[in-house]
């Protein structure tokens, strides 16, 4: 026992006494941009790294204390923000890291982002908390042309339950629509995170919108209008629930073919032909149960002025789909009233066998008429 004790106390004769303070190097923290920086870009500049250790916490806060969300790398040696920063705003950064021995270091910095020369506003078509039909597309429009379409499109973040791929497609430089490959599955919950604030849409022109909205997909209803047979078959969740006699566009004014989405509902509305290129041909102040299918003026609506024998036998409209109805929209027993009460924004009405072209995908919310391979190309 004595020998063991002496041996343990004696140690290795070749070992050198370790100087005081000689241990693991502290973690080196780097914050970009440097402390006091001005006119910092709102994207691509802010980053925090750790060398010789890991980051244990990063906080980036604006003047009101609101924190910028961000994420660590898998190795926890770098952090980056998840979204653009606001323009002309001072941010404070606090980074905490530790080395392999758990020795902690803290670093801080403040910087101010670049001011915007101008801003763009963003508008969308689905109210927060809405229940919509399976054909609804999210359409976002801007009040100024967008040059950096990829960056702006990526700043509209869509998540779904159950998960489904959603792509955006640009129509020109001021509108982007989003949809899945097929109609939404009924019951899908959709969350949209608009993260356009601080995104540079064009040279010196930045977005301002930062908001979360959501919508729910209701039951699945698709109605097929056969213009040649003068009928509409209403299918809900895969079951045919009613066939309705209709009148469609007369020769020379045929109804568009294709898949169209209901975007507005009006129990009564005025329809003046002068607003859609039919000056003087009609002006009806009280069209009942009208639902918009296109920007150019296609509706599916009640019709009280045609004879009852017209529905199911002749096409006499100026391009709309007409259903038998009563003046005043007060008779719930008419086909027009039934279809109105059983339809919601986002339902699909598909027209077939009409002697006209397929409607353009941007004439309303009608992107379902574009192939999935083309949808999203060139964003």
Distances (CA, A) of 268 to 60, 187, 281: 53, 30, 20
Residue 371, number of CB atoms within 10 A of its CB: 8
Taking alpha carbons only, the member of 343, 182, 369 closest to residue 263 is: 343
Angle at 222 between CA 219 and CA 226, to 5 degrees: 160
The residue from 169, 230, 289, 301 that is catalytic is: 301
Torsion of CA 320, 325, 329, 334, to 10 degrees: -130
The residue from 169, 230, 318, 320 that is catalytic is: 320
Greatest alpha-carbon pair distance for the chain in Å reads 119
The alpha-helical segments, DSSP class H, found in 74-167 are: 149-154
Query: 317 is written with which tokens?
Result: 């409209």
End-to-end CA distance of the chain: 80
**Lookup result for tokens 């129990």:** 267
Distances (CA, A) of 214 to 84, 125, 187, 293: 21, 12, 13, 23
Q: Is 9 a catalytic residue?
A: no
Task: Yes or no: say if 116 and 89 are a contact pair by the CB < 8 Å rule.
Answer: no
Task: Yes or no: say if 261 and 184 are a contact pair by the CB < 8 Å rule.
Answer: no
Q: Is 301 a catalytic residue?
A: yes
Q: Which residues are catalytic?
A: 301, 320
């Amino acid at each position: 026992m004595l020998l063991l004790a002496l041996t343990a106390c004696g140690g290795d004769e070749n070992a050198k006494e370790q100087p005081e303070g000689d241990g693991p190097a502290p973690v080196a923290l780097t914050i970009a941009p440097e402390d006091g920086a001005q006119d910092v870009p709102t994207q691509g500049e802010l980053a925090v790294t750790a060398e010789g250790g890991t980051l244990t916490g990063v906080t980036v806060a604006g003047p009101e204390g609101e924190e910028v969300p961000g994420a660590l790398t898998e190795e926890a040696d770098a952090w980056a923000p998840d979204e653009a920063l606001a323009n002309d705003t001072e941010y404070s950064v606090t980074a905490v890291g530790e080395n392999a021995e758990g020795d902690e270091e803290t670093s801080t910095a403040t910087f101010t982002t670049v001011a915007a020369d101008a801003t763009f506003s963003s508008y969308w078509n689905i109210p927060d908390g809405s229940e919509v039909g399976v054909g609804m597309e999210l359409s976002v429009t801007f009040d100024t042309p967008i040059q950096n379409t990829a960056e702006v499109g990526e700043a509209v973040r869509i998540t779904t339950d159950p998960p489904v791929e959603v792509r955006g497609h640009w129509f020109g430089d001021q509108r982007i629509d989003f949809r899945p490959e097929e109609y939404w599955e009924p019951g899908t919950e959709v969350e949209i995170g608009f993260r356009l604030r601080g995104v540079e849409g064009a040279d010196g022109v930045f977005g301002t919108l930062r908001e979360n909205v959501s919508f729910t997909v209701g039951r699945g209803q698709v109605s097929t209008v056969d213009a040649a047979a003068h009928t509409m078959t209403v299918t809900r969740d895969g079951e045919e629930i009613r066939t309705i006699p209709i009148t469609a566009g007369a020769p020379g004014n045929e109804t568009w073919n294709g898949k169209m989405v209901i975007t507005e509902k009006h129990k009564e509305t005025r329809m003046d032909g002068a607003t859609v290129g039919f000056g003087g041909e009609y002006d009806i102040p009280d069209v009942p149960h009208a639902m918009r299918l296109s920007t150019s003026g296609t509706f599916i609506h009640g019709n009280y002025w045609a004879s009852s024998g017209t529905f199911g036998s002749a096409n006499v409209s100026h391009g709309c789909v007409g259903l038998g109805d009563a003046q005043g929209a007060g008779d719930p027993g008419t086909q027009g009233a039934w279809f109105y009460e059983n339809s919601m924004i986002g339902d699909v009405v598909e027209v077939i066998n009409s002697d006209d072209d397929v409607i353009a995908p941007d004439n309303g919310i009608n992107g379902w008429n574009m192939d999935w391979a083309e949808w999203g190309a060139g964003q």
